[in-house]
Amino acid sequence: MSYVKLVVQRYDPERDEKPRFQEYIVPYRKGMTVLDAILYARDYLDHSIGVRFSCRMASCGSCGMKINGKPALACYTQVSELGTERIVVQPMDNFPVIKDLATDFEEFFEKHKELMPYLVREDRAEQENPKSEYLMKPEELERILQFTYCIKCGLCYSVCPTVGTDKLFPGPQAIAQAYRYVEDVRDEGGETRLNILDNPHGIWRCHFAGSCSAVCPKGVDPALGIQLLRRYVMRGKAPRKKGEGSKPFTK
Amino acid sequence: MEKGRERNRRGIRGWFDPTVPNNLERWAYFFQRLTGLGILAYVIGHIGDTSFFVGGPFGTGPNQSSWSFDLSITENVVGHLILIFVVLIVTFHGINGIRLILAELGIMVGKPSKIEYPYRPSSLRSVQRHIIWVAIVLAVLAAIWAGSILFG
Ligand code: SF4
């Protein structure tokens, strides 16, 4: 393979009536990622291509898009692994398009924030200025570790069939992160999160299509987190009440 | 921006397109909806059918002629094939429904663990996935059994 045919979906909601496709011929080199191909097209062929990226190593979660119809990180997808010279790139579904491949994460982050993705302590002064560390046992860490790897790329959100029809559903990423904090032995905000999720547009709208877990590039498994969290919502009881979180470490 | 927002939400298309991202649970989700609609259509048809011989809006009352008329529209090859199909979809819908109830109770979906590349989500390789195959096999067996009774 000496070149790739990169087909980019172009759409500027401020100006265009509907999306269109534009083709660029990009010279191929060994080890080239889809993001490399897009950046080549943007740098040398057409400066107007809209794309968001940052770290180029699957850590920042900025370059999620549909590559040949399948949601993936462009920096994490080798051209060679696609097995085709024609690569079609489109913005992720379920996100408003800002321009071309760049999508708007405002709604996504709002939903994430609403579920309080941080440790909550009853003692607010201690929460803001902890006097010492909070210890966890290895098995307690293991219960939440994989969920901490989320890079907020939004790929799970883009394939979720419920997000596609219910604007109020928090989505797999936010709920999986809620589970991550509810299950954290240092946290005391579980009951508040369960109350937020226990509504007709909340956790009950997940029907376990499992697509979130199938596309997650970091192995987070949001579908697992959602089902496990649902147990707590069903019982109406978080694993810890206020004041029952692990105690600060003292010598 | 609002225009682009509306354009890009996947909508009901997403319910009926299991090819992205093509995992088995997404196919089960798709068939659960489809079979649900099929069962609903059958129930509505069945109520209409029953009304023939109990004197509903289409029937003439509980008598020999309405019963014979009802049999004439259901007791034939097409009618039997429809019933076999109903057995197929009800069996799949029922067993897959039990799988979903258990999964949504956090049962048989695996548990969090240390993960290593290449990532294989535990929820997508847990017992719940085997139950999808069990639902498919039992639905086919039930349909064969129904066929042997209806055509036997
Ligand atoms: S759960 Fe996975 S797919 Fe979803 S935002 Fe986090 S890293 Fe991305």
What confidence score (pLDDT) does residue A251 get? 75
- Give the other-Cβ count within 10 Å of A114's Cβ: 14
ipTM score of complex: 0.93
* Nearest ligand 1 atom, CA A154: 5
DSSP state for residue A218 in the 8-state scheme: T
Q: Are A121 and A184 in contact (CB under 8 A)?
A: no
Residue A144, chain B, CB below 8 Å: the answer is yes
Residue with the smallest CA separation from ligand 1 atom 4 is A156
Whether residues B123 and A70 touch (CB distance < 8 A) is answered with no
Per residue in B18-31, pLDDT tens? 999 999 999 999 99
Ligand 1 binding pocket includes A26 (Cβ within 6 Å): no
- Placement of tokens 């319910």 in the chain: B15
Question: Could you give the residue range(s) of every CATH 1.10.1060.10 domain in chain A?
Answer: 106-235
What confidence score (pLDDT) does residue A120 get? 95
Could you give the CA distance from residue A123 to residue A106 in angstroms, rounded to a whole number? 31
CATH of domain A106-235: 1.10.1060.10
Residue A78 β-bridge partners? A33
**pLDDT 10s digit of each residue in chain A, 251 long?**
799 999 999 999 999 999 999 999 999 999 999 999 999 999 999 999 999 999 999 999 999 999 999 999 999 999 999 999 999 999 999 999 999 999 999 999 999 999 999 999 999 998 899 889 998 999 999 999 999 999 999 999 999 999 999 999 999 999 999 999 999 999 999 999 999 999 999 999 999 999 999 999 999 999 999 999 999 999 999 999 888 999 888 87
Pick the closest to residue A89 from A151, A164, A4, A154 (CA basis). A4
Ligand 1 binding pocket includes A154 (Cβ within 6 Å): yes
Q: A160: nearest CA in chain B?
A: B14
Question: Could you give the residue range(s) of every CATH 3.10.20.30 domain in chain A?
Answer: 3-103
For the domain made up of B23-151, give the CATH fold.
3 helical TM bundles of succinate and fumarate reductases (1.20.1300)
What confidence score (pLDDT) does residue B5 get? 55
Could you give the CA distance from residue A102 to residue A38 in angstroms, rounded to a whole number? 12
Spatial CB neighbours of B113, under 8 Å, sequence gap ≥ 6: A142, A146, B122
Architecture of domain A3-103: Roll (3.10)
Q: Out of B8, B21, B22, whose CB is closest to A97?
A: B8
Size of interface A-B (CB pairs under 8 A): 155
Nearest-CA distance from B135 to chain A in Å? 16
Per residue in B87-115, pLDDT tens? 999 999 999 999 999 999 999 999 999 99
What confidence score (pLDDT) does residue B152 get? 87
Pick the closest to residue A154 from A66, A81, A83, A80 (CA basis). A66
**Tokens of residue A194, six digits:** 């369960």
What confidence score (pLDDT) does residue A81 get? 96
Give the CA distances from residue B49 to residues B41, B46, B62, B68, in Å, rounded to whole numbers and listed in that order.
12, 5, 13, 12
Q: Out of B5, B21, B114, whose CB is closest to A215?
A: B21
- Placement of tokens 């049999």 in the chain: B71
What confidence score (pLDDT) does residue B71 get? 81
Could you give the CA distance from residue A249 to residue A228 in angstroms, rounded to a whole number? 29
Q: Are B110 and A224 in contact (CB under 8 A)?
A: yes
Full strand arrangement of the beta sheet holding A20-27: A20-27, A3-10, A86-90, A64-67, A70-73
Residue A198, chain B, CB below 8 Å: the answer is no
Ligand 1 binding pocket includes A79 (Cβ within 6 Å): no
Could you give the CA distance from residue A3 to residue A137 in angstroms, rounded to a whole number? 52
Pick the closest to residue A124 from A59, A68, A189, A170 (CA basis). A189
Could you give the CA distance from residue B150 to residue B152 in angstroms, rounded to a whole number? 6
Q: How far is the CA of A220 from the centre of ligand 1 (A)?
A: 7
Structural domain boundaries in chain B: 23-151
Could you give the CA distance from residue A97 to residue A100 in angstroms, rounded to a whole number? 7
Residue B68, chain A, CB below 8 Å: the answer is no
**When comparing pLDDT for B144 and B2, which is higher?**
B144
Check pLDDT > 90 for residue B61.
no
Check pLDDT > 90 for residue B34.
yes
- Placement of tokens 């055509």 in the chain: B151
* Rg of chain A on CA atoms, in Å: 21
Q: How far is the CA of B73 from the centre of ligand 1 (A)?
A: 53
Residues of A in contact with B110 (CB under 8 A): 224
What confidence score (pLDDT) does residue B4 get? 54
**Tokens of residue A6, six digits:** 């990169």
Q: Are A69 and A87 in contact (CB under 8 A)?
A: no
Check pLDDT > 70 for residue B60.
no
Residues of B in contact with A145 (CB under 8 A): 112, 114-115
Whether residues A70 and B20 touch (CB distance < 8 A) is answered with yes
DSSP state for residue A6 in the 8-state scheme: E
Could you give the CA distance from residue A143 to residue A126 in angstroms, rounded to a whole number? 24
What are the backbone dihedrals phi and psi of residue A25, each rounded to the nearest 5 degrees, phi first? -95, 120
Burial class (CB in 10 A: 0-12, 13-18, 19+), B116: exposed
Pick the closest to residue A147 from A183, A180, A184, A193 (CA basis). A180
User: Where does residue A113 fall: left (phi above 0), alpha (psi -120 to 50 degrees), or beta otherwise?
Assistant: alpha
Mutate to test the pocket of ligand 1, among A76, A163, A211, A216 (most ligand atoms within 8 A of CB): A216
Q: Are A130 and A145 in contact (CB under 8 A)?
A: no
B56 — pLDDT class (breaks 50, 70, 90): low
Residue with the smallest CA separation from ligand 1 atom 2 is A216
Pairing, β A3-10 against β A102-103: unpaired
Which of B2, B13, B100, B109 to mutate to test binding with chain A, by most A CBs within 10 Å of its CB? B109
Is the four-CA dihedral A41, A43, A47, A53 of positive or negative sign?
Answer: positive
* Nearest ligand 1 atom, CA A152: 5
pTM equals 0.94
Residue A73 β-bridge partners? A64
